[in-house]
Structure 1
Amino acid sequence: MSDQAQKLRNLIRQREGAATPLSEAAPQSNARIITVTSGKGGVGKSNFTLNFALCLLERGYRTLIIDADIGFANIDVLMGITAQTNLLHLIKGEKTISELVQTGPGGIQFIAGGSGMFDLLRLTDEETASFTNQIEELCGMADFILFDTGAGLSKETQQFIAAAQETIVVTTPEPTAITDAYALIKMVRNEDPDVTFRLVVNRATSTREAKATADKIRMVARRFLDIEIASIGHVEDDHLVSRAVKEQTPFIIAYPHSAAARSMKVLVDQFLGQPSKADLGGGMKKFLKRLIGRTH
């Protein structure tokens, strides 16, 4: 009963525009760790991640974004925030994990990555032990941890995808985006057959176009990779998305009744209705072991 009451209080606070800080939230089971990626840049991956996270937050889920785009981190820019800290401060022992968590519009909480993500993949044993102890605390503080990875077929992106086990691939109806999305799935599949992929079609002009785009990727993956990829929906092409980006405000907040916002909310409901690997256990500790190759 107390756990249900806590969730209800959290939900009320969020609807009033004040999300529960992760550091104050009651510890719960392992967080659901998800990477968001794309086969190429320019498909709106980071913007999708941000607004997707905000929709999860609206539904009462404690959600944290970790910007894992090495060299092109921009989650903070999309919110009009200048990040003062990032994971590099944690790796160097200058900040604790709770000090890295920053709050953006709508109460969404995030950790800036930047160059710190590159250093993360090259830690010494001693640094790994310290980092692991710190970041494991996040699992008791969030229901969802979203890693916004870099676009394309880099080794670093592949490591994050394989570590998380659950990946959302964002594409658009453009032929190059479709080809690159499949190439990414194929590359990861060849290295790690256990990764679960979910497809999102961004900037679709209609439900019909979105379905046709997703079906192309799903059909080829089924035929040549022998895997079934679930589609969790699409985000409609909407000029208000570009306007929100220029205003440095998430479109879910700036234009909550826009076509893009409505389709995003439907997408999130579909996502939540699909089965996940969250119940397999392991959480952040397993993620770090797979990512870095060792934990203590």
Structure 2
Amino acid sequence: MNDQAQGLRNLIQSNAAKQRNTKVITVTSGKGGVGKSNFSLNFALTLQSQGYKVLIFDADIGLANIDVLMGVSSKYSLYHLLKKEKTIWEIIERGHHGIEFIAGGSGFTDLMRLTDQELDYFSEQVGQLNGYVDYIIFDTGAGLSKETLKFILAAEETIVVTTPEPTAITDAYAIIKMVTNLNHQVPFRLVVNRIADEKEGRDTAAKISMVARQFLQLDIPTLGFVADDAHVSKAVRKQVPFTVAFPNSEAARSIRDLTNRFLHGQTFTGSSESSGVKSFLSRMIRLLR
């Protein structure tokens, strides 16, 4: 029976892969407390509501909380995959509206210490996700840890979440500068969270963009702004994503606007050599070895 189920899953995956060009995105921030994980979750849910299939990798080693934000208890994590106790399909969990996610836990720390043989197994397992979803979103830890750095360098693009607070702005620029100074051309996009009004959001984005252009010769497009909305903290307490609990809230409307902007700039040709899960894994394995 298990062999039949696996065969059916492989057939479904094979058919889906012909239709999908999986895009790997990293979401990060210069410091904690800016709402990065909340953004990742609600961004993923909004993409899904637009008809795209999305998988979230909770790669925040110290403060993994995608499951907490949804009030879901994760039975398995990446740890169980690396220990070969479970397959990639068995560690996928489901939350609100069927959104799929993988809990990282201590698994991402273990990932940095794998042997070549273990890395090959990891690559083979995660590679099966190619074509299974339209987007894989890695919600990384705040700041530039060695784990976060590798995900940023391997992903196709990185969304940097900040707030108008001076320390958040400084730290957001610092993470962009550090990656750029490693001579890696990582496409960044900026999201300014918890804005009082659009002017504050534009002013914040302009500060980062101006300094990046002046000192790094780098253009940082702004993906959008998310309003400072009391409904967000209410949703956190309810352990329900705010786009689900309060779909008509200002924050939910903000997420929908920036998601539409994100999708408007995307093309799915399937021809880019640098796109897809296999390309991501190839870059990741080179960084880990």
Q: Do they superpose with TM above 0.5? A: yes
Q: 1:205, 1:236 within 8 Å by CA — same for their partners in 2?
A: yes
Q: Which amino acid aligns with 2:97?
A: G
Residue in structure 2 matched with residue 98 of structure 1 by the alignment: 89
Q: Which amino acid aligns with 2:281?
A: L
Cα distance per residue 1:83-135 (max 9 Å; x no partner): 11000111111111111111100111100001101111221111111111111
- Distance apart, 1:25 and its partner CA: 7.6
- Distance apart, 1:275 and its partner CA: 4.5
Residue in structure 2 matched with residue 12 of structure 1 by the alignment: none
Residue in structure 2 matched with residue 9 of structure 1 by the alignment: none
Give the SS at the match of 1:98: coil
Cα distance per residue 1:150-178 (max 9 Å; x no partner): 00121211111001030000000000000
Residue in structure 1 matched with residue 278 of structure 2 by the alignment: 285
Q: Quick one: distance in 1 between partners of 2:156 and 2:98?
A: 27
- Distance apart, 1:73 and its partner CA: 0.8
Residue in structure 2 matched with residue 191 of structure 1 by the alignment: 182
Q: Quick one: distance in 1 between partners of 2:227 and 2:61?
A: 28
Q: Which amino acid aligns with 1:280?
A: S
Q: Quick one: distance in 2 between partners of 1:274 and 1:58?
A: 18
2:246 to 255, 265, 268: 255
Matched, 1:158 2:113: no
Assess, with a 3 A threshold, how the Cα gap between structure 1 residues 56 and 126 changes in structure 2: closer, same or farther. same
Q: 1:170, 1:200 within 8 Å by CA — same for their partners in 2?
A: yes
Q: Quick one: distance in 2 between partners of 1:24 and 1:105?
A: 26
Matched, 1:269 2:260: yes
Matched, 1:114 2:105: yes
Q: Quick one: distance in 2 between partners of 1:163 and 1:193?
A: 10
Assess, with a 3 A threshold, how the Cα gap between structure 1 residues 59 and 275 changes in structure 2: closer, same or farther. closer
Q: Quick one: distance in 2 between partners of 1:47 and 1:295?
A: 28
Q: 1:65, 1:111 within 8 Å by CA — same for their partners in 2?
A: yes
Cα distance per residue 1:18-57 (max 9 Å; x no partner): xxxx969822343100000000000000000000000000
Give the SS at the match of 1:119: helix
Aligned length: 275
- Distance apart, 1:285 and its partner CA: 2.1
Alignment of 1:196-207 (within 5 A): 196-207=187-198
Give the SS at the match of 1:219: helix
Q: 2:20, 2:132 within 8 Å by CA — same for their partners in 1?
A: no
Question: What is the identity percentage for the equivalent residue pairs of Structure 1 and Structure 2?
Answer: 57
Q: 2:14, 2:131 within 8 Å by CA — same for their partners in 1?
A: no
Matched, 1:26 2:19: no
Q: Quick one: distance in 1 between partners of 2:47 and 2:72?
A: 21
Give the SS at the match of 2:188: strand
Residue in structure 2 matched with residue 236 of structure 1 by the alignment: 227
Alignment of 1:119-134 (within 5 A): 119-134=110-125
Bigger mean CA offset, 190-199 vs 229-238: 190-199
Give the SS at the match of 1:265: helix
Q: Any gaps of 5 or more consecutive residues in structure 2?
A: 1-11
Q: 1:77, 1:248 within 8 Å by CA — same for their partners in 2?
A: yes
TM-score (norm 1): 0.89
Q: Quick one: distance in 1 between partners of 2:84 and 2:267?
A: 34
Give the SS at the match of 1:280: coil
Q: Quick one: distance in 2 between partners of 1:281 and 1:133?
A: 19
Alignment of 1:27-46 (within 5 A): 27=17, 28-46=19-37
Q: 1:289, 1:295 within 8 Å by CA — same for their partners in 2?
A: no
Q: Which amino acid aligns with 1:191?
A: L
- Distance apart, 1:288 and its partner CA: 1.9
Q: Which amino acid aligns with 2:56?
A: I
Q: Which amino acid aligns with 1:289?
A: S
Residue in structure 2 matched with residue 79 of structure 1 by the alignment: 70
Q: Quick one: distance in 2 between partners of 1:259 and 1:272?
A: 20
- Distance apart, 1:287 and its partner CA: 1.4
- Distance apart, 1:292 and its partner CA: 2.9
Q: Any gaps of 5 or more consecutive residues in structure 1?
A: 1-21
The CA RMSD measured in Å over matched residues stands at 1.9
